[in-house]
Amino acid sequence: MNEKEIETLKERVIAVLKTIYDPEIPIDIWTLHLIYGVDVDAEGNVKITMTVTAPNCPVAETLPAEVKTRVQAVMGVKNTDVELTFDPVWSIDMLSDEAKAELGLDGEYGSFSASDFLY
Protein backbone atom coordinates (compact mmCIF):
# COMPACT_ATOMS: atom_id res chain seq x y z
CA MET A 1 0.00 0.00 0.00
CA ASN A 2 1.19 3.49 -0.76
CA GLU A 3 0.77 6.46 1.61
CA LYS A 4 -2.52 7.55 0.05
CA GLU A 5 -4.00 4.06 0.39
CA ILE A 6 -2.81 3.85 4.01
CA GLU A 7 -4.45 7.21 4.78
CA THR A 8 -7.69 6.14 3.07
CA LEU A 9 -7.76 2.91 5.09
CA LYS A 10 -7.11 4.87 8.29
CA GLU A 11 -10.03 7.18 7.45
CA ARG A 12 -12.30 4.15 6.94
CA VAL A 13 -11.19 2.72 10.30
CA ILE A 14 -11.91 6.04 12.02
CA ALA A 15 -15.33 6.17 10.36
CA VAL A 16 -16.12 2.77 11.90
CA LEU A 17 -14.86 3.92 15.32
CA LYS A 18 -17.32 6.81 15.11
CA THR A 19 -20.16 4.26 14.98
CA ILE A 20 -19.21 2.54 18.24
CA TYR A 21 -20.81 4.05 21.30
CA ASP A 22 -19.91 3.87 24.96
CA PRO A 23 -22.95 2.16 26.50
CA GLU A 24 -23.08 4.56 29.46
CA ILE A 25 -22.60 7.82 27.58
CA PRO A 26 -24.55 8.45 24.37
CA ILE A 27 -21.46 9.55 22.46
CA ASP A 28 -19.20 7.56 20.15
CA ILE A 29 -15.80 6.42 21.37
CA TRP A 30 -13.94 8.62 18.86
CA THR A 31 -15.68 11.81 20.03
CA LEU A 32 -15.20 10.76 23.67
CA HIS A 33 -11.46 10.57 22.94
CA LEU A 34 -11.28 6.97 24.11
CA ILE A 35 -9.10 6.24 21.06
CA TYR A 36 -5.53 7.36 21.70
CA GLY A 37 -4.05 6.13 18.45
CA VAL A 38 -4.79 4.48 15.11
CA ASP A 39 -1.79 3.19 13.21
CA VAL A 40 -2.00 1.50 9.83
CA ASP A 41 0.98 -0.09 8.10
CA ALA A 42 1.61 -0.82 4.43
CA GLU A 43 0.33 -4.40 4.78
CA GLY A 44 -3.05 -3.32 6.14
CA ASN A 45 -2.33 -4.14 9.77
CA VAL A 46 -4.11 -1.80 12.18
CA LYS A 47 -3.07 -1.06 15.75
CA ILE A 48 -5.51 0.82 17.95
CA THR A 49 -4.57 2.16 21.35
CA MET A 50 -7.60 2.96 23.44
CA THR A 51 -8.92 3.40 26.94
CA VAL A 52 -12.26 3.26 28.71
CA THR A 53 -13.79 5.89 30.96
CA ALA A 54 -12.59 4.24 34.18
CA PRO A 55 -10.38 1.26 35.06
CA ASN A 56 -13.35 -0.48 36.70
CA CYS A 57 -15.61 0.27 33.73
CA PRO A 58 -18.01 -2.63 33.15
CA VAL A 59 -17.14 -2.70 29.42
CA ALA A 60 -13.36 -2.75 29.88
CA GLU A 61 -13.29 -6.25 28.40
CA THR A 62 -16.11 -6.10 25.87
CA LEU A 63 -15.55 -2.67 24.29
CA PRO A 64 -12.00 -3.41 23.02
CA ALA A 65 -13.27 -6.74 21.64
CA GLU A 66 -16.08 -4.91 19.81
CA VAL A 67 -13.56 -2.42 18.42
CA LYS A 68 -11.38 -5.27 17.16
CA THR A 69 -14.29 -7.10 15.54
CA ARG A 70 -15.70 -4.02 13.85
CA VAL A 71 -12.32 -2.74 12.59
CA GLN A 72 -11.32 -6.19 11.38
CA ALA A 73 -14.40 -6.15 9.13
CA VAL A 74 -13.21 -3.02 7.28
CA MET A 75 -12.25 -3.83 3.70
CA GLY A 76 -8.48 -3.69 3.38
CA VAL A 77 -7.69 -4.46 7.02
CA LYS A 78 -5.48 -7.53 7.29
CA ASN A 79 -5.05 -7.80 11.08
CA THR A 80 -6.28 -5.70 13.99
CA ASP A 81 -4.54 -5.31 17.33
CA VAL A 82 -6.31 -3.38 20.09
CA GLU A 83 -4.30 -2.29 23.11
CA LEU A 84 -6.17 -1.13 26.21
CA THR A 85 -4.26 1.42 28.26
CA PHE A 86 -4.91 3.63 31.25
CA ASP A 87 -1.99 5.95 30.55
CA PRO A 88 -3.15 8.61 30.52
CA VAL A 89 -6.26 7.90 32.54
CA TRP A 90 -9.33 9.25 30.74
CA SER A 91 -10.99 12.29 32.26
CA ILE A 92 -13.95 14.43 31.35
CA ASP A 93 -11.51 17.18 30.42
CA MET A 94 -10.61 15.10 27.34
CA LEU A 95 -14.08 15.55 25.86
CA SER A 96 -14.30 17.65 22.73
CA ASP A 97 -16.29 20.88 22.90
CA GLU A 98 -18.93 19.13 20.78
CA ALA A 99 -19.22 16.28 23.28
CA LYS A 100 -19.34 18.67 26.24
CA ALA A 101 -22.16 20.59 24.59
CA GLU A 102 -24.05 17.38 23.81
CA LEU A 103 -23.83 16.37 27.47
CA GLY A 104 -24.75 19.83 28.74
CA LEU A 105 -21.25 20.47 30.02
CA ASP A 106 -20.39 23.41 27.79
CA GLY A 107 -20.33 25.94 30.62
CA GLU A 108 -18.06 26.20 33.61
CA TYR A 109 -18.27 22.81 35.23
CA GLY A 110 -15.09 22.62 37.24
CA SER A 111 -12.86 19.59 37.31
CA PHE A 112 -14.38 16.13 37.40
CA SER A 113 -12.97 12.68 37.27
CA ALA A 114 -14.64 9.95 35.25
CA SER A 115 -15.99 8.37 38.41
CA ASP A 116 -17.73 11.64 39.41
CA PHE A 117 -19.40 11.82 36.04
CA LEU A 118 -20.35 8.21 35.42
CA TYR A 119 -21.14 6.62 38.73
Tens of pLDDT along 20-53?
Answer: 998 888 889 998 999 999 999 999 999 999 999 8
d(CA 13, CA 48): 10
Q: Which pTM value belongs to this model?
A: 0.83
* CATH class as words, domain 3-90+113-118: alpha beta
* Beta-bridge mates of residue 35: 50
d(CA 58, CA 77): 28
17 contacts 71 by C-beta, under 8 angstroms: yes
**pLDDT tens-digit readout, 98-107:** 777 777 776 5
118 contacts 54 by C-beta, under 8 angstroms: yes
Domain spans in the chain, listed from the N-terminal domain onward: 3-90+113-118
**Of the spans 53-57, 73-77, 110-114, which averages the highest pLDDT?**
73-77
Tell me 92's DSSP state.
G
What sign for the dihedral angle of Cα 77, 47, 62, 105? negative
d(CA 107, CA 52): 24
- Tell me the three state secondary structure of residue 81: strand
